[in-house]
Amino acid sequence: MSYYKKEPDYKHGDPPKIGIILANLGTPDAPRSKELRKYLGQFLMDRRVVEIPRFIWCWILHCIILVFRPAASAKKYQQVWTAQGSPLLVYAKKQTRLLKKELKNKYKQPIEIELAMSYGNPSMPNAIQKLKTQHCSRILLFPLYPQYAASSSASAMDSFFKVLLKTRNVPEARTIRHYHDHPDYINALKNSVLNFWKKNGRPEKLIMSFHGIPKKSLLQGDPYHCECHKTGRLLAESLALKDNEYQICFQSRFGKAEWLKPYFAEVIQDLGEKKTNKVHVICPGFSSDCLETLEEINMEGRHIFKSHGGGTYDYIPALNDNKHWIEAMVKILHPHLVGWIDPNWSLTKEEKASAITIRQAKKIKDRL
């Protein structure tokens, strides 16, 4: 049995294409314990996610976490699951479809797009195989994490390159590292906030909540903390907010170790105890709404705030399939496609090149 994966069928004259992979974290296939156990097992065994020595972590994971956590997580997923499936997957599919349409309008040259998850389905191997089947000889990986973190962006890159390690005919590959300060990303966030305020009024405080990571990661050189703060500062400046009108915090703490502070739950509780009249929360680090935004922020956060005396609490949805976000994605992608996009491309030119290749291949075959 070959170490390398089987290559898709190839015919001389097949025009090479550019492929793009939109990569996100992942989601269970269904909101049930069985599917959550499989998903969490894959996610929490990633060394990028948990850096505890394996001989210790494997015992903790399989004897404690995967025994008790799947059922609890399944109940939370059931609260946000839609008729179409997981919110993250639903929105990611919409982004894929809309981005393909935008790129088709911008470039004459055909560009194929596939969606891939670091954990679960659709998988990274499947996405790469689909692009290779469509004759993509150049592939750009676009991790949908604005702020780089080893546990998210680098994990997606690992997943991508692990597949290429077992690929015989390796495509030319590029990756997007981050876009935390890209003007069009900031502008998309700004428009999202302003549109929400137009319908719901301005709050006393805008909370910008980012997914947390262990403080140890920051001390070891992970730039995530700094990039989150830069995103928050740029968004606040674009909205002309004063320092006391917004706050940056971090959510989704896991385990007993110290994570990036301040913690979202503590910030919201404090605002509730101070009888804050109106609070809005946005999660700039999430390209799509998911369990962490819809359940933890919109449900748990609301409960904490109101149960401690707070007034109105609103969650501003993630960018999802927002028109400004899809347009921003095109702008983020563009510099990474330079050298791959032929400004003089035409179907006629491509067909002539294919015809030449076919004739040359036939001549060589006749000599064999």
pLDDT tens track for 215-249:
999 999 999 999 999 999 999 999 999 999 999 99
Q: Is 66 a domain residue?
A: yes
Same domain, 209 and 263: yes
- Domain CATH code at residue 309: 3.40.50.1400
Task: Tell me the pLDDT tens digit for each residue of 263-283.
Answer: 999 999 999 999 999 999 999
Task: Tell me the pLDDT tens digit for each residue of 355-367.
Answer: 777 778 777 766 6
State yes or no: pLDDT of 368 exceeds 70. Answer: no
Same domain, 80 and 24: yes
The pLDDT of 163-187, averaged and rounded, is 97
**Collapsing DSSP states into helix, strand and coil, what is residue 169?**
coil
Structure confidence at residue 313 as a pLDDT band (50, 70, 90): very high
**Collapsing DSSP states into helix, strand and coil, what is residue 338?**
coil
What is the per-residue pLDDT for 261? 97
Q: Is 2 a domain residue?
A: no
| 92-98-102 Cα angle (round to 5) | 140
- Please check whether residue 236 is in contact with residue 190, taking contact to mean a CB–CB distance below 8 angstroms: no
What is the per-residue pLDDT for 361? 73
Same domain, 81 and 210: no
Same domain, 191 and 160: no
CA-closest candidate to residue 183, choices 326, 316, 331: 331
> Cα(26)–Cα(152) distance, rounded to whole angstroms?
11
SS3 track for 27-77:
ECCCCCHHHHHHHHHHHHCCCCCCCCCHHHHHHHHHHHHHHHHHHHHHHHH
Length of the chain: 368
Same domain, 23 and 158: yes
Q: Is 264 a domain residue?
A: yes
SS3 content of the chain, % helix, strand, coil (to 5): 50, 15, 30
**Collapsing DSSP states into helix, strand and coil, what is residue 266?**
helix
> Cα(221)–Cα(77) distance, rounded to whole angstroms?
33
| Domain termination site, one of 316, 339, 363 | 316
Instruction: Classify the phi-psi angles of 309: left when phi > 0, otherwise alpha if psi is within -120 to 50, otherwise beta.
Output: left
Same domain, 227 and 265: yes
Task: Tell me the pLDDT tens digit for each residue of 76-94.
Answer: 999 999 999 999 999 999 9
Share of the chain above pLDDT 90, in %: 85
CA-closest candidate to residue 334, choices 190, 140, 200: 140
Q: Is 362 a domain residue?
A: no
Same domain, 135 and 38: yes
How many domains are there within the chain? 2
Q: Is 355 a domain residue?
A: no
308: its two tokens: 């401690």
Q: Is 367 a domain residue?
A: no
pTM, entire model: 0.94
State yes or no: pLDDT of 13 exceeds 90. Answer: no
Residue 240, number of CB atoms within 10 A of its CB = 7
Same domain, 164 and 247: no
